Amino acid sequence: MASRSVNKVILVGHLGKDAETRFTPAGVSVTSFSVATNRRWKDQQTGEWKEETDWANVVLWRQENLANYLTKGKQVYVEGRLQTRSYDDKDGKKQYRTEVVADEVILLGGRAGDGGGMQESSGPQPVSMPRGAQKLKAVEEPGDQGITDDDVPF
């Protein structure tokens, strides 16, 4: 009997800072950004509402034109997979980094007072963008072009 596994991540959150695009030595673009997601719950002991924020690091391959739209505070939908990679830091110590490799990124809205934001009661409203730029699918996986961890500039 074959075993099944699933590696799928879906996030809806806000960007913590503007996205950054870098290029591998082979000229392949890598856009990285962080997404904050919030969780609220009522404390059973005190009856008070509590909230916590989790941060996810996201990388998006071959979509350098999207970085202009991924600015701090914007709400995004991200779909992809988890990937953990290791590298040696400047002191030679092995470091691990887990990130979401995005297959799809959809802009849902902007900051309040930004003109392109969402209204609290009306639900998500996609941002008006040039045709084809709003919903993106990764064209190829990084491994398809012989890209290794050594090519990643961060």
Would residue 152 count as lying in a domain? no
Would residue 95 count as lying in a domain? yes
Would residue 2 count as lying in a domain? no
Q: Give the type of residue at 17.
A: K
Judged on CB neighbours under 10 Å (0-12, 13-18, 19+), 29 is middle
Would residue 129 count as lying in a domain? yes
Range of the domain at 84: 9-39+51-146
Q: Look up the pTM and report it.
A: 0.66
How many Cα atoms are found within 13 Å in the side-chain-facing hemisphere of 66?
A: 27
Using CA atoms, how far apart are residues 40 and 120, in angstroms rounded to an integer?
17
> Which residues are paired to 106 by β-bridges?
77, 135
CATH number of the domain to which 79 belongs: 2.40.50.140
Give the model confidence (pLDDT) of 36-60 as tens digits: 999 998 999 999 999 999 999 999 9
What pLDDT, on a 0 to 100 scale, did the predictor assign at position 111?
52
* For range 132-142, the mean pLDDT: 43
* For range 14-18, the mean pLDDT: 94
Query: Number of structural domains, the chain?
Result: 1
Pairing of strands 49-61, 94-109: parallel
* Residue (of 98, 20, 9, 86) closest to 57 by Cα position: 98
